[in-house]
Chain A
Amino acid sequence: KAGVTQTPRYLIKTRGQQVTLSCSPISGHRSVSWYQQTPGQGLQFLFEYFSETQRNKGNFPGRFSGRQFSNSRSEMNVSTLELGDSALYLCASSPFSGSIGELFFGEGSRLTVL
């Protein structure tokens, strides 16, 4: 069974640009969550999608958005990039929403903002 796949794995952007990250969950998983990992703040929850609907949202500005498609694949977008957005963005999937935390993480997309 293939794991969670995130693309691209690495990318470099400049301030003010926007970026789109993609996540393909494990086959059959319908819930996709996104987390941001930085050295200073650790892993922080961004949002969760289930059946194309946002179920939960973390404390991030509106520049961070996401969506989920009917095949459960998800994308997140960050607009007007700032230096502080440099981070590892992790996607995680689970079979259902509310499956209490046993999330399956991808390897992440490492974003560097210059």
Chain B
Amino acid sequence: DQQVKQNSPSLSVQEGRISILNCDYTNSMFDYFLWYKKYPAEGPTFLISISSIKDKNEDGRFTVFLNKSAKHLSLHIVPSQPGDSAVYFCAAAQGGSEKLVFGKGTKLTVNP
């Protein structure tokens, strides 16, 4: 049973436009959500996070939105740049645990 789902395996956008990556979760006990970015042959790198007490968190071009009632979060990248091309993983945690539950990732391609 997959607790964190990223239903779009891939996404392609034009440079300068908005990229929206989506993530759904089933476990209502999750109280912290994160996005990681992964380039080929590298480990994932932390991008942005949000606590369940918030519904939005912004960091530069990256904004994460959380809709707890729908158990849905999204990552917005504005404007998208070719260097943003990578696999993006959504992850969830419960109770301050180091045990992250990851989605299977969405491969973002930003075309020049």
Instruction: Identify the A interface with B (CB < 8 A).
Output: 4, 31, 33, 35, 41-45, 48, 50, 55-56, 58, 90, 92, 94, 97-108
Contact = CB atoms under 8 A, between A and B. Distances in A.
A68 to B, nearest CB: 13
26 contacts: A33-B98, A33-B99, A33-B100, A35-B100, A42-B89, A42-B103, A42-B105, A43-B44, A43-B89, A48-B98, A50-B98, A56-B98, A56-B99, A58-B99, A90-B43, A98-B97, A98-B98, A99-B98, A100-B96, A101-B49, A101-B91, A101-B98, A101-B100, A102-B34, A102-B46, A107-B41
Interface residues of A: mostly helix, strand, loop or mixed? strand
Contacts, number: 68
Contacts of A100: 32, 49, 93, 96
Interface of B: 32, 34, 36, 41-46, 49, 89, 91, 93, 96-105
